Protein backbone atom coordinates (compact mmCIF):
# COMPACT_ATOMS: atom_id res chain seq x y z
CA UNK A 1 0.00 0.00 0.00
CA UNK A 2 2.93 2.34 0.56
CA UNK A 3 3.64 2.33 -3.19
CA UNK A 4 -0.02 3.07 -3.94
CA UNK A 5 0.07 5.84 -1.34
CA UNK A 6 3.24 7.25 -2.85
CA UNK A 7 1.81 7.12 -6.37
CA UNK A 8 -1.35 8.93 -5.29
CA UNK A 9 0.68 11.60 -3.52
CA UNK A 10 2.69 12.13 -6.71
CA UNK A 11 -0.53 12.47 -8.72
CA UNK A 12 -1.81 15.02 -6.23
CA UNK A 13 1.43 16.99 -6.32
CA UNK A 14 1.41 17.08 -10.12
CA UNK A 15 -2.37 17.63 -10.27
CA UNK A 16 -2.69 14.50 -12.39
CA UNK A 17 -5.29 12.89 -10.17
CA UNK A 18 -8.92 12.43 -11.16
CA UNK A 19 -11.65 13.54 -8.78
CA UNK A 20 -15.28 12.47 -8.61
CA UNK A 21 -17.82 14.58 -6.74
CA UNK A 22 -21.05 12.79 -5.80
CA UNK A 23 -23.87 15.32 -5.51
CA UNK A 24 -23.81 18.58 -7.47
CA UNK A 25 -25.78 20.72 -5.06
CA UNK A 26 -24.82 23.83 -3.11
CA UNK A 27 -21.77 22.00 -1.70
CA UNK A 28 -20.60 19.61 -4.38
CA UNK A 29 -21.03 21.82 -7.44
CA UNK A 30 -18.79 24.69 -6.25
CA UNK A 31 -16.16 22.15 -5.09
CA UNK A 32 -16.15 20.43 -8.47
CA UNK A 33 -15.80 23.76 -10.27
CA UNK A 34 -12.88 24.81 -8.06
CA UNK A 35 -10.95 21.62 -8.82
CA UNK A 36 -11.65 22.04 -12.53
CA UNK A 37 -10.35 25.62 -12.38
CA UNK A 38 -7.06 24.20 -11.10
CA UNK A 39 -6.95 21.90 -14.14
CA UNK A 40 -7.87 18.77 -12.23
CA UNK A 41 -10.10 16.32 -14.11
CA UNK A 42 -13.46 16.21 -12.34
CA UNK A 43 -16.55 14.08 -12.86
CA UNK A 44 -19.69 15.19 -11.11
CA UNK A 45 -22.17 12.45 -10.29
CA UNK A 46 -25.75 13.69 -10.06
CA UNK A 47 -29.00 11.73 -10.15
CA UNK A 48 -31.26 14.78 -10.43
CA UNK A 49 -32.28 14.98 -14.09
CA UNK A 50 -33.14 18.66 -13.83
CA UNK A 51 -29.64 19.57 -12.68
CA UNK A 52 -28.03 17.48 -15.41
CA UNK A 53 -30.23 19.12 -18.02
CA UNK A 54 -29.30 22.54 -16.71
CA UNK A 55 -25.59 21.73 -16.97
CA UNK A 56 -26.03 20.32 -20.50
CA UNK A 57 -27.77 23.59 -21.43
CA UNK A 58 -24.77 25.41 -19.92
CA UNK A 59 -26.93 27.16 -17.35
CA UNK A 60 -26.03 27.28 -13.67
CA UNK A 61 -28.72 26.57 -11.07
CA UNK A 62 -26.59 27.87 -8.18
CA UNK A 63 -26.07 31.57 -7.50
CA UNK A 64 -22.41 31.08 -6.54
CA UNK A 65 -21.61 29.79 -10.05
CA UNK A 66 -22.33 32.13 -12.94
CA UNK A 67 -23.37 30.89 -16.38
CA UNK A 68 -20.15 32.28 -17.83
CA UNK A 69 -18.09 30.45 -15.23
CA UNK A 70 -19.86 27.18 -15.99
CA UNK A 71 -19.46 27.62 -19.75
CA UNK A 72 -15.73 28.28 -19.37
CA UNK A 73 -15.26 25.18 -17.23
CA UNK A 74 -17.24 22.98 -19.60
CA UNK A 75 -15.23 24.29 -22.55
CA UNK A 76 -11.96 23.62 -20.71
CA UNK A 77 -12.70 19.89 -20.69
CA UNK A 78 -11.80 19.51 -17.02
CA UNK A 79 -15.36 19.00 -15.82
CA UNK A 80 -18.20 16.75 -16.88
CA UNK A 81 -21.46 15.72 -15.26
CA UNK A 82 -22.88 12.21 -15.28
CA UNK A 83 -25.72 10.17 -13.81
CA UNK A 84 -23.63 6.97 -13.76
CA UNK A 85 -21.60 5.88 -10.74
CA UNK A 86 -19.57 3.75 -13.11
CA UNK A 87 -17.84 6.97 -14.15
CA UNK A 88 -15.96 7.08 -10.84
CA UNK A 89 -14.02 3.89 -11.60
CA UNK A 90 -10.97 5.90 -12.66
CA UNK A 91 -11.24 8.43 -9.84
CA UNK A 92 -8.37 8.72 -7.38
CA UNK A 93 -10.52 10.67 -4.92
CA UNK A 94 -14.28 10.59 -4.38
CA UNK A 95 -15.99 13.42 -2.52
CA UNK A 96 -19.51 12.67 -1.28
CA UNK A 97 -21.74 15.74 -0.91
CA UNK A 98 -25.36 14.67 -0.46
CA UNK A 99 -28.19 15.96 1.76
CA UNK A 100 -28.68 14.85 5.36
CA UNK A 101 -32.22 15.88 6.39
CA UNK A 102 -34.25 14.94 9.44
CA UNK A 103 -36.87 12.22 9.79
CA UNK A 104 -39.85 13.92 11.31
CA UNK A 105 -38.58 16.60 13.63
CA UNK A 106 -35.53 15.31 15.49
CA UNK A 107 -34.17 12.05 14.01
CA UNK A 108 -31.19 12.12 11.61
CA UNK A 109 -31.74 10.73 8.13
CA UNK A 110 -28.49 9.52 6.57
CA UNK A 111 -30.21 7.48 3.87
CA UNK A 112 -28.84 9.75 1.12
CA UNK A 113 -25.32 9.04 2.35
CA UNK A 114 -25.90 5.29 2.39
CA UNK A 115 -27.49 5.36 -1.08
CA UNK A 116 -24.44 7.22 -2.40
CA UNK A 117 -21.78 5.18 -0.62
CA UNK A 118 -23.08 1.78 -1.78
CA UNK A 119 -22.50 2.40 -5.51
CA UNK A 120 -19.27 4.28 -4.74
CA UNK A 121 -17.97 1.17 -2.96
CA UNK A 122 -18.97 -1.05 -5.88
CA UNK A 123 -17.09 1.09 -8.39
CA UNK A 124 -14.18 2.29 -6.24
CA UNK A 125 -10.69 2.12 -7.70
CA UNK A 126 -8.08 0.30 -5.65
CA UNK A 127 -6.08 2.75 -3.55
CA UNK A 128 -8.58 5.59 -3.88
CA UNK A 129 -9.46 8.11 -1.20
CA UNK A 130 -13.11 8.60 -0.16
CA UNK A 131 -14.09 11.82 1.61
CA UNK A 132 -17.53 12.38 3.12
CA UNK A 133 -18.57 16.05 3.27
CA UNK A 134 -22.23 15.66 4.21
CA UNK A 135 -22.96 17.02 7.68
CA UNK A 136 -23.77 14.19 10.04
CA UNK A 137 -23.53 13.00 13.64
CA UNK A 138 -20.20 11.95 15.21
CA UNK A 139 -19.35 8.34 14.41
CA UNK A 140 -21.10 8.13 11.03
CA UNK A 141 -17.92 7.68 9.00
CA UNK A 142 -16.60 4.87 11.20
CA UNK A 143 -19.87 3.22 12.23
CA UNK A 144 -21.92 3.49 9.03
CA UNK A 145 -19.62 4.17 6.07
CA UNK A 146 -16.58 1.99 6.83
CA UNK A 147 -18.64 -1.23 7.23
CA UNK A 148 -20.09 -0.79 3.71
CA UNK A 149 -16.60 -1.01 2.22
CA UNK A 150 -15.53 -3.79 4.58
CA UNK A 151 -18.49 -5.97 3.53
CA UNK A 152 -17.17 -5.79 -0.04
CA UNK A 153 -13.72 -6.92 1.10
CA UNK A 154 -12.05 -3.53 1.31
CA UNK A 155 -9.57 -2.97 4.11
CA UNK A 156 -8.79 0.55 5.17
CA UNK A 157 -5.13 1.42 4.74
CA UNK A 158 -4.66 -1.44 2.29
CA UNK A 159 -7.33 -1.00 -0.39
CA UNK A 160 -8.62 2.52 0.19
CA UNK A 161 -8.57 5.51 2.53
CA UNK A 162 -11.51 7.21 4.24
CA UNK A 163 -11.90 10.73 5.64
CA UNK A 164 -14.51 13.21 6.79
CA UNK A 165 -14.30 16.90 5.90
CA UNK A 166 -17.29 19.05 6.86
CA UNK A 167 -18.64 21.38 4.21
CA UNK A 168 -18.49 25.07 5.05
CA UNK A 169 -20.26 26.56 2.05
CA UNK A 170 -22.10 29.82 2.70
CA UNK A 171 -24.35 30.42 -0.35
CA UNK A 172 -24.26 33.99 -1.58
CA UNK A 173 -21.25 35.00 0.52
CA UNK A 174 -18.91 36.63 -1.99
CA UNK A 175 -16.37 37.52 0.71
CA UNK A 176 -15.87 33.86 1.59
CA UNK A 177 -16.26 31.59 -1.45
CA UNK A 178 -15.34 27.94 -1.11
CA UNK A 179 -11.63 28.48 -1.86
CA UNK A 180 -11.24 31.05 0.93
CA UNK A 181 -12.86 29.07 3.74
CA UNK A 182 -10.40 26.97 5.83
CA UNK A 183 -11.04 23.23 5.41
CA UNK A 184 -11.16 20.85 8.38
CA UNK A 185 -10.13 17.25 7.73
CA UNK A 186 -10.15 14.13 9.88
CA UNK A 187 -9.20 10.70 8.56
CA UNK A 188 -9.46 7.14 9.82
CA UNK A 189 -5.66 7.14 9.85
CA UNK A 190 -2.87 9.74 9.69
CA UNK A 191 -2.11 8.63 6.11
CA UNK A 192 -5.72 9.18 5.07
CA UNK A 193 -5.66 12.65 6.62
CA UNK A 194 -2.36 13.43 4.88
CA UNK A 195 -3.82 12.51 1.49
CA UNK A 196 -6.96 14.57 2.02
CA UNK A 197 -4.94 17.58 3.17
CA UNK A 198 -2.85 17.39 0.01
CA UNK A 199 -5.93 17.15 -2.21
CA UNK A 200 -7.77 20.08 -0.66
CA UNK A 201 -4.62 22.21 -0.69
CA UNK A 202 -4.96 22.23 -4.48
CA UNK A 203 -7.98 24.53 -4.15
CA UNK A 204 -7.94 25.87 -0.58
CA UNK A 205 -5.16 27.90 1.00
CA UNK A 206 -5.68 26.87 4.62
CA UNK A 207 -6.39 23.25 5.54
CA UNK A 208 -6.84 22.22 9.19
CA UNK A 209 -6.22 18.55 10.03
CA UNK A 210 -7.76 17.09 13.20
CA UNK A 211 -7.14 13.80 14.97
CA UNK A 212 -10.11 11.74 13.73
CA UNK A 213 -13.27 11.55 11.66
CA UNK A 214 -15.30 11.96 14.85
CA UNK A 215 -13.53 15.21 15.69
CA UNK A 216 -14.11 16.54 12.17
CA UNK A 217 -17.78 15.53 12.28
CA UNK A 218 -18.22 17.33 15.59
CA UNK A 219 -16.51 20.51 14.35
CA UNK A 220 -19.34 21.23 11.92
CA UNK A 221 -22.00 20.52 14.53
CA UNK A 222 -20.29 22.79 17.05
CA UNK A 223 -20.16 25.64 14.53
CA UNK A 224 -23.87 25.50 13.77
CA UNK A 225 -24.93 24.71 17.35
CA UNK A 226 -23.04 27.83 18.42
CA UNK A 227 -25.03 29.85 15.92
CA UNK A 228 -28.36 28.22 16.77
CA UNK A 229 -27.98 28.88 20.49
CA UNK A 230 -26.91 32.49 20.03
CA UNK A 231 -29.69 33.20 17.54
CA UNK A 232 -32.18 31.61 19.93
CA UNK A 233 -30.78 33.76 22.75
CA UNK A 234 -31.08 37.03 20.84
CA UNK A 235 -34.58 36.11 19.62
CA UNK A 236 -35.66 35.56 23.22
CA UNK A 237 -33.98 38.78 24.35
CA UNK A 238 -35.73 40.69 21.55
CA UNK A 239 -39.10 39.48 22.86
CA UNK A 240 -38.09 40.46 26.38
CA UNK A 241 -36.81 43.86 25.24
CA UNK A 242 -40.10 44.58 23.46
CA UNK A 243 -41.99 43.98 26.71
CA UNK A 244 -39.60 46.31 28.50
CA UNK A 245 -39.79 48.97 25.74
CA UNK A 246 -36.08 48.60 25.01
CA UNK A 247 -34.63 48.77 21.47
CA UNK A 248 -32.77 45.45 21.13
CA UNK A 249 -31.05 46.60 17.93
CA UNK A 250 -29.60 49.61 19.74
CA UNK A 251 -28.45 47.36 22.58
CA UNK A 252 -26.69 44.91 20.25
CA UNK A 253 -24.97 47.71 18.34
CA UNK A 254 -23.72 49.26 21.58
CA UNK A 255 -22.56 45.91 22.96
CA UNK A 256 -20.68 45.31 19.70
CA UNK A 257 -18.34 48.18 20.51
CA UNK A 258 -16.70 45.94 23.13
CA UNK A 259 -13.46 44.75 21.47
CA UNK A 260 -13.41 41.38 23.23
CA UNK A 261 -15.76 38.75 24.65
CA UNK A 262 -18.80 39.65 22.53
CA UNK A 263 -20.05 38.63 19.09
CA UNK A 264 -23.20 40.27 17.69
CA UNK A 265 -26.23 38.21 16.70
CA UNK A 266 -29.50 39.72 15.54
CA UNK A 267 -33.14 38.67 15.90
CA UNK A 268 -35.24 37.67 12.92
CA UNK A 269 -38.32 35.75 11.78
CA UNK A 270 -36.57 32.40 12.21
CA UNK A 271 -33.71 30.38 10.76
CA UNK A 272 -33.74 28.68 7.39
CA UNK A 273 -31.37 26.86 5.11
CA UNK A 274 -30.18 23.28 5.30
CA UNK A 275 -27.74 23.58 8.21
CA UNK A 276 -28.61 25.60 11.30
CA UNK A 277 -32.17 24.32 11.86
CA UNK A 278 -31.01 20.72 11.48
CA UNK A 279 -27.35 20.16 12.39
CA UNK A 280 -27.60 20.79 16.16
CA UNK A 281 -30.42 18.24 16.34
CA UNK A 282 -28.06 15.64 14.85
CA UNK A 283 -25.68 16.32 17.73
CA UNK A 284 -28.45 16.21 20.32
CA UNK A 285 -29.73 12.90 18.90
CA UNK A 286 -26.29 11.30 19.05
CA UNK A 287 -25.63 12.64 22.55
CA UNK A 288 -28.80 10.92 23.77
CA UNK A 289 -27.29 7.54 22.85
CA UNK A 290 -24.62 8.34 25.44
CA UNK A 291 -27.23 9.23 28.06
CA UNK A 292 -26.76 12.98 27.66
CA UNK A 293 -29.52 15.46 26.81
CA UNK A 294 -28.56 18.92 25.54
CA UNK A 295 -31.05 21.36 27.05
CA UNK A 296 -29.45 24.36 25.31
CA UNK A 297 -30.02 22.92 21.83
CA UNK A 298 -33.66 22.06 22.50
CA UNK A 299 -34.42 25.41 24.11
CA UNK A 300 -32.78 27.46 21.34
CA UNK A 301 -34.52 25.42 18.66
CA UNK A 302 -37.91 25.92 20.35
CA UNK A 303 -37.42 29.69 20.65
CA UNK A 304 -36.46 30.01 16.99
CA UNK A 305 -39.38 27.86 15.84
CA UNK A 306 -41.72 30.20 17.72
CA UNK A 307 -40.53 33.37 15.94
CA UNK A 308 -42.89 33.21 12.90
CA UNK A 309 -45.87 32.89 15.23
CA UNK A 310 -44.50 35.67 17.43
CA UNK A 311 -44.18 38.04 14.46
CA UNK A 312 -47.78 37.33 13.46
CA UNK A 313 -48.90 38.12 17.03
CA UNK A 314 -46.96 41.38 16.93
CA UNK A 315 -48.53 42.36 13.61
CA UNK A 316 -51.98 41.41 14.89
CA UNK A 317 -51.49 43.59 17.96
CA UNK A 318 -50.22 46.54 15.96
CA UNK A 319 -53.10 46.38 13.49
CA UNK A 320 -55.55 46.10 16.36
CA UNK A 321 -54.12 49.31 17.80
CA UNK A 322 -54.89 50.95 14.47
CA UNK A 323 -58.46 49.68 14.59
CA UNK A 324 -57.86 46.93 12.02
CA UNK A 325 -58.62 43.22 12.30
CA UNK A 326 -55.96 40.80 11.06
CA UNK A 327 -58.71 38.52 9.77
CA UNK A 328 -59.63 41.06 7.13
CA UNK A 329 -56.22 42.64 6.69
CA UNK A 330 -54.14 42.55 3.50
CA UNK A 331 -50.52 41.68 4.28
CA UNK A 332 -47.59 41.85 1.88
CA UNK A 333 -44.58 39.74 2.84
CA UNK A 334 -41.42 41.24 1.35
CA UNK A 335 -38.75 38.60 0.79
CA UNK A 336 -39.40 34.87 1.03
CA UNK A 337 -35.98 33.24 0.69
CA UNK A 338 -34.26 32.04 3.86
CA UNK A 339 -31.48 34.64 3.58
CA UNK A 340 -30.88 37.82 1.63
CA UNK A 341 -29.71 37.92 -1.97
CA UNK A 342 -29.90 34.20 -2.70
CA UNK A 343 -32.55 32.18 -4.52
CA UNK A 344 -33.03 29.52 -1.86
CA UNK A 345 -36.28 28.63 -0.11
CA UNK A 346 -35.02 25.73 2.03
CA UNK A 347 -36.79 25.88 5.40
CA UNK A 348 -37.42 29.59 4.92
CA UNK A 349 -39.18 31.11 7.94
CA UNK A 350 -41.05 33.41 5.56
CA UNK A 351 -43.11 30.43 4.44
CA UNK A 352 -44.08 29.71 8.05
CA UNK A 353 -45.01 33.37 8.53
CA UNK A 354 -47.21 33.35 5.42
CA UNK A 355 -48.98 30.17 6.48
CA UNK A 356 -49.49 31.48 10.00
CA UNK A 357 -50.97 34.73 8.65
CA UNK A 358 -53.32 32.78 6.38
CA UNK A 359 -54.47 30.64 9.30
CA UNK A 360 -55.37 33.86 11.09
CA UNK A 361 -57.57 34.80 8.13
CA UNK A 362 -55.34 37.46 6.61
CA UNK A 363 -55.16 37.97 2.87
CA UNK A 364 -51.48 37.38 2.13
CA UNK A 365 -49.34 38.19 -0.89
CA UNK A 366 -45.59 38.36 -1.30
CA UNK A 367 -42.94 40.24 -3.23
CA UNK A 368 -39.48 38.84 -3.92
CA UNK A 369 -37.24 39.88 -6.83
CA UNK A 370 -35.58 36.44 -6.84
CA UNK A 371 -38.70 34.24 -6.59
CA UNK A 372 -41.28 35.08 -9.30
CA UNK A 373 -43.54 32.16 -8.35
CA UNK A 374 -44.02 30.52 -4.96
CA UNK A 375 -45.28 26.95 -5.04
CA UNK A 376 -44.23 25.53 -1.71
CA UNK A 377 -45.89 24.34 1.49
CA UNK A 378 -49.35 24.40 -0.07
CA UNK A 379 -48.85 27.91 -1.45
CA UNK A 380 -49.38 28.91 -5.05
CA UNK A 381 -48.60 32.61 -5.35
CA UNK A 382 -47.08 35.06 -7.81
CA UNK A 383 -44.71 37.81 -6.70
CA UNK A 384 -46.25 41.28 -6.47
CA UNK A 385 -44.40 44.14 -8.15
CA UNK A 386 -43.42 46.77 -5.58
CA UNK A 387 -45.06 49.69 -7.32
CA UNK A 388 -46.57 52.60 -5.42
CA UNK A 389 -50.09 51.52 -6.37
CA UNK A 390 -49.58 47.93 -5.25
CA UNK A 391 -47.96 48.87 -1.96
CA UNK A 392 -50.78 51.25 -1.03
CA UNK A 393 -53.27 48.39 -1.37
CA UNK A 394 -51.90 46.59 1.71
CA UNK A 395 -52.59 47.26 5.36
CA UNK A 396 -49.15 45.99 6.39
CA UNK A 397 -45.87 45.25 4.64
CA UNK A 398 -43.70 42.75 6.50
CA UNK A 399 -40.00 42.76 5.66
CA UNK A 400 -39.12 39.11 6.17
CA UNK A 401 -35.96 38.93 4.03
CA UNK A 402 -33.91 42.05 3.32
CA UNK A 403 -32.80 41.62 -0.31
CA UNK A 404 -30.58 44.41 -1.63
CA UNK A 405 -32.63 44.51 -4.86
CA UNK A 406 -35.74 45.77 -3.05
CA UNK A 407 -36.49 49.50 -3.36
CA UNK A 408 -37.10 50.30 0.29
CA UNK A 409 -37.53 54.02 -0.46
CA UNK A 410 -40.64 53.28 -2.54
CA UNK A 411 -41.84 50.87 0.13
CA UNK A 412 -41.42 53.41 2.90
CA UNK A 413 -43.04 56.22 0.97
CA UNK A 414 -46.18 54.28 0.05
CA UNK A 415 -46.77 51.70 2.79
CA UNK A 416 -49.45 52.33 5.40
CA UNK A 417 -47.54 50.29 8.00
CA UNK A 418 -44.26 48.34 7.90
CA UNK A 419 -43.20 45.59 10.26
CA UNK A 420 -39.42 45.43 9.87
CA UNK A 421 -38.07 42.10 11.12
CA UNK A 422 -34.61 42.73 9.62
CA UNK A 423 -33.87 46.26 10.86
CA UNK A 424 -33.74 47.64 7.32
CA UNK A 425 -34.72 51.12 8.47
CA UNK A 426 -32.48 51.06 11.56
CA UNK A 427 -34.81 52.86 13.91
CA UNK A 428 -35.88 55.62 11.54
CA UNK A 429 -39.45 56.62 10.67
CA UNK A 430 -40.92 55.03 13.78
CA UNK A 431 -44.33 56.56 13.10
CA UNK A 432 -44.76 54.13 10.19
CA UNK A 433 -42.25 51.38 10.94
CA UNK A 434 -42.27 48.90 13.80
CA UNK A 435 -39.20 46.74 14.31
CA UNK A 436 -38.93 43.26 15.71
Question: Which backbone phi and psi does 42 adopt, to 5 degrees?
Answer: -130, 135
Q: Please tell me the distance from the alpha carbon of residue 146 to that of residue 154, in angstroms, as a whole number.
A: 9
CA distances from 166 to 27, 50, 94 (A): 10, 26, 14
Q: Please tell me the distance from the alpha carbon of residue 328 to that of residue 395, in angstroms, as a whole number.
A: 10
Query: Which candidate, 326, 324, 328, 350, places its Cα nearest to that of 339?
Result: 350
Q: Which long-range contacts does 359-364 make (Cβ < 8 Å, 24+ apart)?
A: 360/312, 360/316, 360/326, 360/327, 361/326, 361/327, 361/328, 362/326, 362/327, 362/328, 362/329, 362/330, 362/331, 363/328, 363/329, 363/330, 363/331, 364/331, 364/332, 364/333
Q: Kind and range of the H or E element at 320?
A: helix 295-321
Sheet (strand 41-45) strand order:
79-82, 41-45, 18-22, 93-96, 128-132, 160-164, 183-187, 207-209
* Helix intervals (H) in 204-294: 213-243, 248-255, 279-288
Query: Which candidate, 267, 249, 257, 361, places its Cα nearest to that of 316?
Result: 361
**Residues annotated as catalytic (active site), given as ranges:** 275
Q: What is the DSSP string of 167-190?
A: ----TT-SSS-GGGS-EEEEESSH
Q: 3-class DSSP state for residue 343?
A: coil
Can you give the C-alpha Rg of the chain in angstroms? 24
Angle between helices 248-255 and 213-243 in degrees, nearest 10 = 130
Q: Please tell me the distance from the alpha carbon of residue 171 to that of residue 180, in angstroms, as a whole number.
A: 13
Query: Which candidate, 406, 402, 429, places its Cα nearest to that of 417?
Result: 429
Find the Cα–Cα–Cα–Cα dihedral 11, 12, 18, 20, rounded to 10°.
Answer: 150
Amino acid sequence: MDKILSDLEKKIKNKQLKVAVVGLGYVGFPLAIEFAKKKVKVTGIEIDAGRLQSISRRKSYISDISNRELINILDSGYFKASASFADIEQADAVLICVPTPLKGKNIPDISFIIKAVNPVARHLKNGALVILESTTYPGTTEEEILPIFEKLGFKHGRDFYLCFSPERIDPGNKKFPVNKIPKVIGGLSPKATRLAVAIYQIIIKKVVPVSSCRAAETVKLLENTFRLINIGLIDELSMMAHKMKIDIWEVVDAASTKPFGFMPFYPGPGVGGHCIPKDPLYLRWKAKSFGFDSHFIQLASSVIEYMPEYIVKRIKGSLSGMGKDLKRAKILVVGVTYKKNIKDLRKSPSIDVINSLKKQGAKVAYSDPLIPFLKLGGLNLTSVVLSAKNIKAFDCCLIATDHDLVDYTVLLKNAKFIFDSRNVFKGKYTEKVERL
